[in-house]
């Protein structure tokens, strides 16, 4: 075992049903990369995706910046090294400042991604250290997210005219509301989660486990006006699928909502059916060819989602062995062929990620969420991890 990872007497070993023998070696590489980056970004945040395989410097104002702070919390959780706690705590004040910050006249917390921002940063801080300021900022974010609902109870991404748009990604933000309920006892938080999931299963879930990424709803009736998928109306955006698998598995873990478990299982089966030979998905599940653009970040999220899903599947479920095999094979592929071990000058962890291919932004680059969820998957395979989500 790498001596930077807590020895077995200091932590409980992983209870995941999937083992990955190279997890500790891979985690050592992530820690080394994180050490280098903490020196580079001591007073700034990295951009949310790399540019020519290097993260630019920036501020904490985007939807994915919580994953940067989350990397330090995972490192502290895994190693017990206070330098990672200090690094994460030094960033926390910026999460309070986000409530007052605007970019181009728009508040940076006006979006629907507040769970992704505040769970791996402030909720993690409170769970690991009892930080009360972090707790208050996370509760403030939860209240703001709760307020972003249509009159039918669905959280919207944005509104335009008499339309509200909701996206599958939002299910990954619901853990913030579940946590807020656990902290306050205010049932309005879980009521929003319940109603939002009901709408997702009705509007975003398609036949055979496919999903629509976005649905435009009429403001008054709540009925769908338009649906968007990914590459084409008949395709399925990979990262949206990964968010959905993980988010629905997490919702089941909090609610025991059987339809969420069934949907996550069906989505996982479809996701697996569209994987190329190395089990790392292309950016859209329409593609399966060996030369198509992969999205390693979507695969990292999907692995975490499958690990969570496997915790709740019946031990004798017919699909369980396949799901376990795909998790193992994907981790082997990501670790063997997608981490930046041999990429001189790259300061990210996971290569070949995609932010937005149609806009050609962050294509074949490192992404903060890809680095974070790859690390989370490794931590899950090393220790009995008390998740932040």
Query: 317-346: per-residue pLDDT in tens?
Result: 999 999 999 999 999 999 999 999 999 999
Quote the pLDDT of residue 10. 60
Q: What is the pLDDT, as a whole number, of residue 161?
A: 63
Q: Where do the H-state alpha helices sit in 53-206? A: 66-79, 82-97, 114-118, 124-129, 132-146, 174-184, 187-203
220 is annotated as contributing to ligand binding:
no
User: If one looks up domain 8-382 in CATH, what number appears?
Assistant: 1.50.10.10
Residue 119 near residue 68 (C-beta atoms within 8 A) = no
**pLDDT on residue 345:** 94
Among 380, 383, 353, smallest CA distance to 369 is for 353
239 among annotated binding-site residues: yes
Q: What is the pLDDT of residue 183?
A: 99
Contact between 306 and 326 (Cβ < 8 Å): yes
Q: What pLDDT score does 257 carry?
A: 98
169 annotated to a ligand binding site: yes
Residues 206/210/214/218 CA torsion (nearest 10 deg) = 0
pLDDT of residue 42: 84
Low-confidence ranges of the chain (pLDDT < 50): 1-2, 8-9
CA distance 112 to 338: 30
φ, ψ of residue 114 to 5 degrees: the values are: -65, -25
Give residue-wise pLDDT tens across range 98-114.
999 999 999 999 988 99
> What whole-number distance in Å separates Cα of residue 271 and Cα of residue 285?
7
What number of other Cβ atoms are within 10 A of residue 273's Cβ? 11
Q: With beta carbons less than 8 A apart as the criterion, state whether 38 and 87 touch.
A: yes
Q: What are phi and psi of 217, to 5 degrees?
A: -115, 145
273: its two tokens: 């059916």
């Amino acid at each position: 075992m790498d001596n930077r990872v807590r020895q077995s007497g200091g932590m409980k070993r992983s209870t995941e049903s999937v083992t990955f023998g190279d997890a500790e070696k891979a985690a050592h590489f992530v820690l080394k990369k994180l050490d280098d980056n903490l020196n580079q970004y001591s007073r700034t945040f990295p951009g949310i995706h790399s540019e020519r395989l290097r993260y630019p410097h920036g501020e904490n104002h985007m939807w994915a910046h919580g994953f940067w702070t989350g990397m330090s919390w995972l490192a502290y959780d895994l190693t017990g090294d206070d330098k990672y706690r200090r690094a994460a705590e030094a960033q926390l004040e910026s999460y309070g400042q986000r409530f007052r910050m605007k970019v181009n006249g728009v508040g940076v917390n006006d979006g629907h991604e507040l769970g992704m921002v505040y769970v791996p940063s402030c909720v993690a801080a409170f769970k690991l250290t009892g930080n009360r300021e972090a707790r208050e900022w996370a509760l403030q974010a939860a209240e703001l997210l709760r307020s972003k609902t249509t009159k039918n109870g669905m959280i919207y991404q944005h509104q335009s005219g008499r339309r509200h748009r909701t996206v599958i990604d939002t299910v990954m933000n619901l853990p913030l509301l579940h946590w807020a309920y656990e902290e306050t006892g205010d049932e309005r938080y879980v009521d929003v989660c319940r109603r939002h999931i009901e709408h997702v299963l009705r509007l975003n879930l398609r036949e055979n486990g496919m999903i629509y990424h976005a649905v435009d709803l009429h403001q008054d009736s709540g009925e769908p006006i338009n649906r968007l998928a990914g590459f084409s109306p008949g395709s399925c955006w990979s990262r949206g699928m990964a968010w959905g698998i993980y988010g629905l598995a997490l919702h089941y873990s909090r609610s025991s909502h059987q339809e969420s478990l069934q949907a996550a299982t069906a989505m996982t089966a479809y996701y697996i059916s569209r994987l190329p030979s190395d089990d790392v998905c292309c950016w859209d599940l329409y593609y399966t060819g060996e030369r198509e653009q992969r999205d390693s970040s979507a695969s990292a999220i999907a692995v975490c989602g499958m690990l969570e899903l496997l915790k709740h599947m019946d031990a004798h479920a017919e699909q369980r062995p396949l799901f376990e095999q795909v998790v193992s094979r994907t981790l082997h592929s990501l670790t063997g062929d997608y981490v930046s071990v041999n990429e001189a000058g790259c300061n990210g962890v996971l290569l070949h990620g995609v932010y937005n291919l149609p806009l050609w932004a962050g294509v074949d680059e490192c992404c903060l969420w890809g680095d974070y969820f790859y690390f989370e998957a490794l931590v899950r395979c090393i220790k009995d991890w008390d998740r932040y989500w």
